[in-house]
Amino acid sequence: MGRSVGNLVKTAALIGLLWGVLLAVGWLIGGSALWIFALIGLVGTAISFWNSDKIAIRSMRAVEVSEHEAPGLHRIVRELADRAGKPMPRLYISPAAQPNAFATGRSPSHAAVCCTQGILQLLSERELRGVLGHELMHVYNRDILTSSVSAGIAGVITSLAQMALWFGGRGREGGGGIIGALLAMILAPIAATLIQLAVSRTREYDADHDGARLTGDPQALASALEKISRGVQARPLPPEQELQDSAHMMIENPFRADGGLGQLFSTHPPTEERVARLRRMSEREILGG
């Protein structure tokens, strides 16, 4: 059970592209700044990755629940974890009324899955099972590591671009000079952000596909996504910084969607496309394809 080969290749290509942008900006400004900022970015990424579960859980004010406190939730997750042959994660419930869920943690052995009160009240058990399968596959595919790496590289690129004007480019060596430095400062962070968000959207498609395979019920996740999307639009979370930093982990973007050009800067694919893919997947299984 794992991410599809096509999306694995796409994710690797996107992260490779991020490294290409990083090296290009480093070449432009020259000197030792590339290595200094790369080291800072590496340390920052490691700290963020190691503490990702604590940060996300704190941002949603979630509390860990025992099997006695949430027997149904524990039963579903244990069944799916056993089916995947993976460890059982810790389970948390957030008091948020918005229907949402997320998984976090640095490895399958150090993972947590969180559901909001809103999602527990909104979904049927079948739909909740589909959502939990999706979240578990984020853990088992090690998507937290993937997102931490892409966010770390993007952060280094942004820092380097901001330094480009200070160094004045590599004009004396035939490089871009001040014009190149200006372009790098403006365009490189935008390119890095777009690539990072593309990685995030690919992760969501992977978790939809692999989670549906784990549960054997693509239609349940499709139905859940439609309900969650409507619920999020009715109850968007406040744009607090900690919540914004954790938004990419959630099954649905917790903020009100802008639509149009805003989709380029979205952490999640359009719900309609996710639902359509899941329904096509269900049809193929019914037809034996």
Catalytic residue from among 67, 69, 127, 135: 135
- Residue 6: which residues within 8 A CB-CB, separation 6 or more? none
Spatial separation of the C-alpha atoms in residues 1 and 142, rounded to whole Å: 12
Tell me which amino acid residue 199 is: V
Phi, psi for residue 101 in degrees, rounded to 5 = -160, 155
DSSP line for 6-58: HHHHHHHHHHHHHHHHHHHHHHHH-TTHHHHHHHHHHHHHHHHHHTHHHHHHH
CB 114 within 8 A of CB 62: yes
Residue type, 202: T
Q: Is 252 annotated as catalytic?
A: no
Burial class (CB in 10 A: 0-12, 13-18, 19+), 60: buried
CB proximity list for 24: less than 8 A, separation 6 or greater: 184, 188
Q: How far is CA 200 from CA 86, 110, 166, 190, 191, in A?
A: 23, 21, 32, 15, 14
CA angle (199 as vertex; 281, 256 as ends), nearest 5 = 80
Query: Quick check: 226 and 72 in contact, CB under 8 A?
Result: no
What is the set of active-site residues?
Answer: 135
